[in-house]
Structure 1
Amino acid sequence: MLNFDEDRFLKIQGGAVALRQRLDAVIGQCLSAGAENIFFLGTGGAAILMQPALQLLQRSSRFPAYIDLPAELVLTGSAHLTEKSIVVMPSLSGTTKESVALLARLKEIGATVITLVGHENTPLGQGGDHVFVNFAEDDTSCESFYLQSLFIALSILHHRNEIRNYDEIVTELDRLPALLLEVKRAYEPKAENFARKLAASDYHIITGAGNVWPQAFYYGMCILEEMQWIRTRPVHASDFFHGTLELIDKDVSLVLFKGEDDLRPLAERIENFAPTYTEKLLVLDTAALDLPGISKPVRALISPILLATVLERISAHLEVMRNHPLTTRRYYKRVAY
């Protein structure tokens, strides 16, 4: 595979899976101690990656779950954010400015803070009540953060007796690192062609629904915009027919992500509409990816992980054909802002 270290990938995703039991124990302790809600409070891309876990809890549990922006909470607070709150703060660097600022506020409030970081010797790596460290880099962090947040959501469902097949689900998830590697290998021959089509346009509308919508938002903002300087318009599939459809013509690129949860029909609606009006429809469908031994319910849960793992292959080809390394920045962590 192009510019890819298989052993490093397995180590990082295996590291995320290895955190599951301790995450489950910490969540169990928090609930036993009377926790009343959970907040996912990341910044930027890391925050977006928490959204599938939030969706799972909001649709499957009566335990209140929230997502908010640290930059806003520092200024406004929240009536729901109390000493009875569990706060999950993801940050690959462990130094994200807005999240570090909120951490001090959380200490004053008395909330229980769980930090998910890639580096321990950092403000967030040292500042959480429960710190979970799994080294990763930009090309491997999506799957890692998706897995860790999914384990947290499943643990809440498990301890509240809101899920029947917890043990079966996590047993399947334990096998995921090796399976994801095989997904990458199988998709590699297709990745260059998909990347070539992305490179052919300097503007993309990118859309999806359900638990893959966050990956559409993330890929548009954090990869195509931040790492490739390609303009995008991420729009949720539910909103596509309420404005954005008017931008579609034969020369407008539309990128559609399809997952396998109950919201798949929203993506299919766009897929049925678009070919009549644009010659540049790109569809990435997790159902086309082979994942032996993984049940349909678990496939539905991990659709954003599957997208992330093949999009990494697409990005690897995109940076080469555009001669624009994914690490190149003009402003991000380069100038004062």
Structure 2
Amino acid sequence: MTNVPYILDILDQPNSLLTALEQFDPALLTPLVKAIRNNDFDRILITGMGGSLYASYPAWLTLANAGLPALWVDTAELIHHTPALVTSKTLLWIFSQSGKSAEIISAIDFGRIQKPAVLIATVNDIESPLAKAAQVQIPIHAEVEKTVSTRTYVNSLGVGQLAALALLGRNVEAAHGELIQAASAMETYLANWERRVQQIGNAIGFPKRLATLGRGSSLASTYTGALILGEASKFMATPYQAGEFRHGPLELATPDLTALIFAGPQETRNLNLRLLKDLRGYQVNAFWVGSEKNEWQIEIPRVPSIGLPLVEILPLQLLSIHFAQQIGVEPGHFFRTGKITLAE
């Protein structure tokens, strides 16, 4: 199956990430650092659609945890239901690998939202309408993909977090090195990808219902994991913020449910572990996606916290291969959509 484009893209992610890290230039954001410190912007609004939006979540967390007035809104909701969030003093940061999906084009024609003070584009296609409209471009330097986002997603995660640190005026050298460590760990993990697909498949099987659960930066993996299972393997999974799962969806906890719980950031790991044990007590087939070994572990490499969302997505990508095999479709093959969404 190594001639399948989706699988080839998965295997190329570590190399693609290294290219993006090598090309990242924090100096592009230097002019904005002073403006942020001087409170020249009323808010920083991060937006995007699908995997690009989810990839921006850790960057939003970085800015919000620094005490900045940062918002995270999907572009469809922004342009149709909350356009007043963008003002002439807003720093608007759009994540879009193509730079030309339907909602992004609607946003940057500035018919539905006001033109912001500054537009930043985290984008792969630097000739796209989004890139041309932006005052600041943050390229993710991924080779063109023909199928489900893999390299563009991982590169957006890495570059987005570095850019957020740069906007805070912080030295990104340490974080840059930690992301290089993550790329190396990803390469090692994927070296035996076929064996890992089999191991994950043997553990999870082909469940009737599947939920992905996480907190903090792992919400990127929680939502993107469910997204790619549907997109790449045509298997429906439901994502939940782990705390919210206790507020009603816990009633779904029966033996025909399988749950993948991302261990996630250290601050809330014990809460996630408690949920795992509770679900196991309800006879749910619950698994721990993390580097700490336990009897329910779906293994990921141990990496610094900035690299955690990048390695967390790997077992979900491999699970999508397993599900596609069970369903009888080529992993990553599009039947209804295409690489770029052109209709709202």
1-side partners of 2:327 and 2:75: how far apart? 34
Q: Quick check: 1:52–1:150 contact (8 Å CA) kept in 2? A: yes
Instruction: Indicate yes or no: 2:68 matched with 1:57.
Output: no
Q: Quick check: 2:232–2:333 contact (8 Å CA) kept in 1? A: yes
Amino acid corresponding to residue 82 of structure 1 in structure 2: T
2-side partners of 1:82 and 1:241: how far apart? 37
Instruction: Indicate yes or no: 2:180 matched with 1:178.
Output: no
Amino acid corresponding to residue 208 of structure 1 in structure 2: G
Instruction: Indicate yes or no: 2:126 matched with 1:126.
Output: no
Amino acid corresponding to residue 15 of structure 1 in structure 2: T
Please give the per-residue CA displacement for 1:239-259, whole angstroms capped at 9, x wherever unaligned: 122111111111221221212
Query: Which residue does 1:148 correspond to in 2?
Result: 159
Q: 1:12 to 1:270 in 2, by over 3 A?
A: same
Deviation of 1:238 (Å): 0.6
Instruction: Indicate yes or no: 2:306 matched with 1:301.
Output: yes
Superposition map of 1:1-337 within 5 A: 2=2, 3-4=7-8, 8-20=12-24, 22=25, 24-33=26-35, 35-36=40-41, 37-59=43-65, 61-105=66-110, 109-133=115-139, 134-136=141-143, 137=145, 138-157=149-168, 159=169, 166-185=172-191, 189-198=195-204, 200-220=206-226, 222-287=227-292, 289-291=300-302, 299-333=304-338
Deviation of 1:135 (Å): 2.5
Q: Quick check: 2:142–2:155 contact (8 Å CA) kept in 1? A: no
Amino acid corresponding to residue 31 of structure 2 in structure 1: Q
Deviation of 1:80 (Å): 4.8
Amino acid corresponding to residue 38 of structure 1 in structure 2: I
Q: 1:317 to 1:142 in 2, by over 3 A?
A: same
Task: Give the TM-score normalised by the residue count of structure 2.
Answer: 0.82
After the TM superposition, which parts of structure 1 deviate over 4 Å for at least 4 consecutive aligned residues? 76-80, 196-199, 333-337
2-side partners of 1:103 and 1:272: how far apart? 47
Deviation of 1:280 (Å): 1.9
1-side partners of 2:211 and 2:12: how far apart? 33
2-side partners of 1:69 and 1:279: how far apart? 32
Query: Which residue does 2:296 correspond to in 1?
Result: none
Q: Quick check: 2:83–2:114 contact (8 Å CA) kept in 1? A: no
Query: RCO higher in 1 or 2 (8 Å CA, sep ≥ 6)?
Result: 2
1-side partners of 2:137 and 2:101: how far apart? 15
Give the 3-state SS of the residue equivalent to 1:102 in structure 2. Answer: helix
Amino acid corresponding to residue 16 of structure 1 in structure 2: A
Please give the per-residue CA displacement for 1:259-303, whole angstroms capped at 9, x wherever unaligned: 233121221111111112225223211445445xx5xxxx22321
Q: Quick check: 1:119–1:135 contact (8 Å CA) kept in 2? A: no
Deviation of 1:335 (Å): 9.4
Q: Quick check: 2:225–2:317 contact (8 Å CA) kept in 1? A: no
Q: Structure 1 stretches of 5 or more lacking a match? A: none
2-side partners of 1:335 and 1:187: how far apart? 33
Give the 3-state SS of the residue equivalent to 2:68 in structure 1. Answer: coil
Give the 3-state SS of the residue equivalent to 1:27 in structure 2. Answer: helix
Please give the per-residue CA displacement for 1:28-59, whole angstroms capped at 9, x wherever unaligned: 21122454232211012211111122122212
Deviation of 1:205 (Å): 1.8
Task: Give RMSD over aligned pairs.
Answer: 2.8
Q: Percent identity?
A: 19
1-side partners of 2:10 and 2:256: how far apart? 37
Task: Give the TM-score normalised by the residue count of structure 1.
Answer: 0.84
Q: 1:196 to 1:324 in 2, by over 3 A?
A: farther
Please give the per-residue CA displacement for 1:138-196, whole angstroms capped at 9, x wherever unaligned: 23222111101111221133x1x6xxx75323232244323321132266533323235
